[in-house]
Homo-oligomer: A and B are copies of this chain.
Amino acid sequence: MKKEEDFSEWYNEIVELANLTDKRYPIKGMNVWTPYGWKIMRHIDTFIRQECDVTGHDEVCFPLLIPETEFQKEKDHIKGFDAEVYWVTHAGLNELDIKLLLRPTSETAMYPIFALWVRSHSDLPLKTYQIVNTFRYETKMTRAFIRVREIHFFESHTCHVDYDDAQRQVEEDFVILEQIMKRLCLPYLLLKRTDWDKFPGAFYTVGVDTLMPEGKSLQLGSIHHYKENFSRPYDIKYEAADGSMKYCHQTTFGMSERLLGAVVGVHGDDKGLALPPEIAPFQVVIIPILAKGKVEAVSAEAQKLKQELAAAGIRVVLDDKDERPGSKFYNWEIKGVPLRLELGMRDIEGGKVSYAVRLDGRKGTFDRGQVVAQVKETLETIVKQMQEGAKERMFGRIQTIESADTIPSKVVRFGWCGDPECGHAFEQKTELKLLGTPYTGENFKGKCIICGKETDKAAYAARAM
């Protein structure tokens, strides 16, 4: 499995070898969450919940099924999803009067109820989120975590008194995002999508993109300002302090199991997964090195070591199966456990514990007496290393270009005057997808790559996964 040679094949192989998911379920694109993959995803969900909770979002859970009549209220929205929804037409032995669809996202499930919840300005802001599965009938080739038909999904939905307050929410979403991405050690770009690529129904969309090793971009999430685009058709209005009735301004923020796909793709290597310590089901694996006549002494000490680490809140597994250590090393490397501890008679006698770091293979010894502190410190170092390494690799894949005639096999950055005509011309000429322009000002001075007009706007383009 060579990541550099064939990323696609490497990815599929790693996902299977590490047993992150089981793709043999008899519906294409609907995969089984295995215990190992699900543990990682649940850690990610926990971080999302923490960040949402501290910023005053309430967790809710809305029904899966949406009546066709509710779905049709926002015209652009239905056009955007029409070709990819699953339809429930029968229940028991009856044909339903009104067809029901499986949520592809929950605007049209939530907003009829928001219209009941929001009455007065004192009900605002209304900040909610849910973590549920959504359903999209993908026609493109499916890929575990990255393009699936049942999607593990986070979505926050908020209502505000006006445009500016919704805008403040968008900015808060950036902070939430940054907290989560730091823990996943994932670098990303915040790009304001072009008008022809924004979310169906949004006023504007900011995409959260990371770059995969093969030079393709992967959208990990998106943050939308809806303005009054949904509150009008769904009649979400409130009585202002002056007694007048006003429509809410709304925002949403969505992310999915793609976060896990990105972790696999960004951090893994030819030996397998490399998991950021904060989401690793096991942060440390202990492998006892058993020599004849010393089995019991080493086993007892390994147990003790495990208990010490566990008591300090470190997620640790002791692999005392009857197998060669080398084969254990190999298996836990595939699984991406950040830190391996080895404990043999020689270590015990010397008051040491041997270690090996999954990320870069470096080895050494800890002092038995200070092992808890040293393990914690090493895990923290690994987090920093992963954050910095991934960031460096991502920015190394971006190339600023001045002509659309020859396109390197990388993500490109270039001047764009902002005119849709120039944007379309660029996309047509290069067959790349125009990802958008940096949401927060990036210093740029140059010429539009198509029309040559002076511009201070950079745009990014890539092949999208």
Contacts and interface: CB of A to CB of B under 8 A. Distances in A.
Interface of A: 22, 24-27, 30-35, 38-39, 42, 58-65, 67, 69-70, 82-94, 100, 102, 109, 112-113, 116-117, 128, 133, 135, 137, 139, 150, 152
Given A85-B92, A90-B87, A63 B30 contact: yes
Contacts of A42: 59
A153 to B, nearest CB: 13
Given A30-B63, A60-B34, A63-B25, A85 B91 contact: yes
A100 B27 contact: yes
Contacts of A60: 32-35, 38
Contacts of A35: 58-60, 128
A39 to B, nearest CB: 8
Given A25-B113, A35-B59, A38-B61, A86 B88 contact: yes
A10 B213 CA distance: 60
17 contacts: A25-B113, A27-B100, A30-B64, A32-B63, A33-B60, A35-B59, A35-B128, A38-B59, A63-B150, A64-B133, A84-B91, A86-B91, A87-B88, A88-B88, A89-B90, A91-B137, A94-B137
Contact of A26 (B22, B94, B112, B139): B112
Contact of A89 (B61, B85, B89): B89
Contacts of A22: 113, 116-117
Contacts of A102: 64, 88
Chain A contact residues: helix, strand, loop or mixed: mixed
A94 B24 CA distance: 23
A83 B92 contact: yes
Nearest to A128: B35
Contacts of A91: 84-87, 137
A26 B67 contact: yes
A415 to B, nearest CB: 39
A128 B60 CA distance: 26
B33 A92 contact: no
A80 to B, nearest CB: 12
Contacts of A150: 63-65
Contacts of A93: 82-83
A63 B24 contact: no
Contacts of A128: 35
Given A112-B26, A113-B24, A33 B62 contact: yes
